Chain A
Amino acid sequence: MSSPLSPPEPPARPRFRWAQVPPLLAAAFPVALLIGIVVTLAVAGLGFGWLLNPSVNWNPSTGDPSQASFGILVFVVGSFVTALPALVLVLLLSLAIGAATALYLPRRVSLLLNGFVDLLAGIPSVVYGIWGFWIVAPVFGTTLNPWINTHLGFVPGLGGPVPSTGIGIPLAIFVLTLMALPLTAVLVRESLLAVPVAYREAGLALGATRYEVFRRILLPFARRRIGGAALLGFGRALGETVAVFMVIGDATKLPFNFFDLSFTVPGVLVGQFDSAFIQPNYLAALAQLGLVLLAFSLVINVGGRWLVGRVGRGGIAMPEAA
């Protein structure tokens, strides 16, 4: 329409096209799903008002449902006494793995060894559960737990009776550590490797040893991301459901000592749902607890992701400095 001499038209505003709709809907889907999950749990959980209370009295199925009490302290305590020690172990192991990968091992060797760590992430939760229940529990029950009990019994919490089955808090910590390790290890490894090679070389050029480069350069540079990795690992450990349920003994009481049976928040969610089908306020209470866990998980993950930022694509970056 415009003659060759007329000034160029301003670029047209992008026109609406039907072809744009599916991609936009797909892009909106993660947000929609997240909102859908929150709304669904809220609808399912809030029909009877707020049911949960912060006591140790979890007693859902009395003859009269209106007399039921939904004290969640037992599960909250159980979740923290397993997830926190697991977090400490996971963080220490991840730092060691990261240091070995970034500074000490040749690339080929570290690729192979890290492959095993990544493989830990692939084992299904329920497989950890059955392995822990039948294979590892006896080792804990007959050897490890009694040994700790005998030699460190003077430490508060480590004395007292030890169940001989091996089911209980230590086994849950062990399984959680294995399950949360791969994620944290990958993130820590990548944050250490993301420290520019120039900084390691600057340290080495001042006569620092590799360990000093790790302590004084890599750690301070990667501190924030390592914190994020730890937080995400903690979220993983807090949310782990099936395997922990299978190895912790599911006792609705506060643990007597470190070796006792316990119960976790996700554990009660997965373990008692069947029993709650027929009792509406019980079901609603579980949905509320699910909402609490969801909120926790969201907060931890938002915080963790924020700290970690976006580390590059997966895989092992090439450390120049050996």
Chain B
Amino acid sequence: MIDGSLPSDAASSGPPGLLEVEHLGVSAGSRKILDDVTLSLPDRTVSAVLGPSGCGKTTFIRCLNRMVELSPALKIVGSVRLLGRDLYDREVDPALVRRRIGMVFQRPTVFPQSIFENAAFGLRLVHADEDEVDRSVMDALKRAGLWDEVHDDLDRSALALSGGQQQRLCIARALAVKPRVLLLDEPTSSLDPHGTQRIEATVRHLKEEIAVVIVTHNVGQAARISDRVAFFHAGRVVEVGATPDILERPREALTEQFITGRFT
């Protein structure tokens, strides 16, 4: 039941993506941060949200699990559907949305607890039984590619880990509650090349089971790990398509300028 395979999965094959974003707009006062964004994010795929700093990438993925509502100043229009179900429906509680659509932030946010307790954080919220917690934590640490490094000292403080390990622990923590979609907001921007490489390897594995949406302003990273790219500029989607198509044969001038580094 909570293993992440949703019953309607089989039915929704093909074009209708796992997450459907339609006419999404976000504004702060009179200023539009996102304007009429329509996107389809398929299952078992890494989708990269690419674009220059300040173009609304963070705001966009925060819309996908209603984190955006934590900023009271922002007004949101349009719809986001997970398997056809509108996430912004009044009947839907954001806390439940976030248990199926997990999120990892720019900087690692490990809590001042042991590695194990960090990974178990989301499970403890629902008082899952100990065996289940043990199994889920192990599974999540493996999927996040951290198990081999930490399985001997799960009781050590998570703060003792390196930045890259901490970020993978955050991924494990998000995975432990078995989300259907994982959102990553520039997860490597605070990491060194080695840490970045490990995260990228982890992300490539994750898509075997779930959908991943990763924000990056790094064209190389998008090329290395994503299957699809959506290029954002000034709050709008400029173009979207398979990664090689977008990065090698962009149709739009803005996209080409960005990926060739001639961006102004």
B-side contacts of A207, CB under 8 Å = 95-96, 98-99, 122, 125, 177
A201 at the interface (CB under 8 A from B): yes
User: By the criterion CB–CB under 8 Å, are B67 and A206 in contact?
Assistant: no
Task: Decide: A206 near B177, CB < 8 A? Known: A198-B109, A220-B112.
Answer: yes
B237 at the interface (CB under 8 A from A): no
A113 at the interface (CB under 8 A from B): no
Interface residues of A in 184-209 (CB under 8 A from B): 196, 198-199, 201-209
Interface string of B151-179 (1 = CB under 8 A from A): 00000000000000000001001100100
Task: Decide: A205 near B65, CB < 8 A? Known: A106-B72, A320-B71, A321-B70.
Answer: yes
B-side contacts of A203, CB under 8 Å = 121
Could you tell me the distance between the alpha carbons of A221 and B122 in the complex, rounded to whole angstroms? 17
B-side contacts of A198, CB under 8 Å = 105, 107, 109
B-side contacts of A216, CB under 8 Å = 121, 124-125
User: By the criterion CB–CB under 8 Å, are A201 and B125 in contact?
Assistant: no
Question: Given A202-B111, A206-B125, A322-B69, 20 more contacts at CB 8 Å?
Answer: A106-B72, A198-B107, A198-B109, A199-B109, A201-B109, A202-B105, A202-B109, A203-B121, A206-B98, A206-B174, A207-B95, A207-B96, A207-B98, A207-B177, A208-B125, A209-B95, A221-B111, A320-B71, A322-B70, A322-B72
Specify which of A199, A202, A205 lies most central, judged by the most chain B CB atoms within 10 Å of its CB: A205
**Pair count A-B, CB < 8 A:** 63
Q: How far is the CB of A224 from chain B (nearest CB, A)?
A: 10
User: By the criterion CB–CB under 8 Å, are A206 and B102 in contact?
Assistant: yes
B-side contacts of A220, CB under 8 Å = 111-113
A212 at the interface (CB under 8 A from B): yes
A-side contacts of B99, CB under 8 Å = 206-207
B103 at the interface (CB under 8 A from A): yes
Specify which of A208, A209, A320 lies most central, judged by the most chain B CB atoms within 10 Å of its CB: A208
Our pick among B112, B113, B121 for the contact of A206 (Cβ within 8 Å) is B121
Interface residues of B, Cβ cutoff 8 Å to A: 65, 67, 69-72, 95-96, 98-99, 102-103, 105, 107, 109, 111-113, 121-122, 124-125, 170, 173-174, 177
Could you tell me the distance between the alpha carbons of A209 and B67 in the complex, rounded to whole angstroms? 13
Interface string of A207-227 (1 = CB under 8 A from B): 111001000110011000000
Could you tell me the distance between the alpha carbons of A309 and B168 in the complex, rounded to whole angstroms? 31
Q: How far is the CB of B192 from chain A (nearest CB, A)?
A: 20
B-side contacts of A212, CB under 8 Å = 125
Q: How far is the CB of B114 from chain A (nearest CB, A)?
A: 12
Could you tell me the distance between the alpha carbons of A322 and B68 in the complex, rounded to whole angstroms? 11
User: By the criterion CB–CB under 8 Å, are B70 and A201 in contact?
Assistant: yes
Could you tell me the distance between the alpha carbons of A79 and B163 in the complex, rounded to whole angstroms? 49
A-side contacts of B111, CB under 8 Å = 199, 202, 217, 220-221
User: By the criterion CB–CB under 8 Å, are B125 and A221 in contact?
Assistant: no
List 8 A-B pairs, minimum CB-CB distance, nearest first.
Answer: A207-B99, A202-B109, A206-B122, A205-B103, A207-B98, A321-B70, A207-B95, A198-B109
A208's nearest neighbour on chain B, judged by CB, is B125
User: By the criterion CB–CB under 8 Å, are B95 and A208 in contact?
Assistant: yes
A217's nearest neighbour on chain B, judged by CB, is B111
List 14 A–B pairs whose Cβ atoms lie within 8 Å, in order of A's numbering. A202-B170, A204-B67, A204-B95, A205-B102, A205-B174, A206-B99, A206-B121, A207-B99, A207-B122, A208-B125, A216-B121, A216-B124, A220-B111, A320-B70
A-side contacts of B122, CB under 8 Å = 206-208
Could you tell me the distance between the alpha carbons of A206 and B174 in the complex, rounded to whole angstroms? 6
B-side contacts of A201, CB under 8 Å = 67, 70, 105, 109
Q: How far is the CB of A110 from chain B (nearest CB, A)?
A: 13
Could you tell me the distance between the alpha carbons of A106 and B70 in the complex, rounded to whole angstroms? 11
Could you tell me the distance between the alpha carbons of A322 and B69 in the complex, rounded to whole angstroms? 9
B-side contacts of A199, CB under 8 Å = 109, 111
Could you tell me the distance between the alpha carbons of A198 and B67 in the complex, rounded to whole angstroms? 12
B-side contacts of A202, CB under 8 Å = 105, 109, 111, 170
A-side contacts of B125, CB under 8 Å = 206-208, 212, 216
Interface string of A90-113 (1 = CB under 8 A from B): 000000000000000010000000
Interface string of A300-322 (1 = CB under 8 A from B): 00000000000000000000111
Q: How far is the CB of B105 from chain A (nearest CB, A)?
A: 6
Could you tell me the distance between the alpha carbons of A216 and B102 in the complex, rounded to whole angstroms? 18
User: By the criterion CB–CB under 8 Å, are B67 and A205 in contact?
Assistant: yes
Q: How far is the CB of B186 from chain A (nearest CB, A)?
A: 13
A-side contacts of B173, CB under 8 Å = 206
Specify which of A202, A203, A216 lies most central, judged by the most chain B CB atoms within 10 Å of its CB: A202
B105's nearest neighbour on chain A, judged by CB, is A198
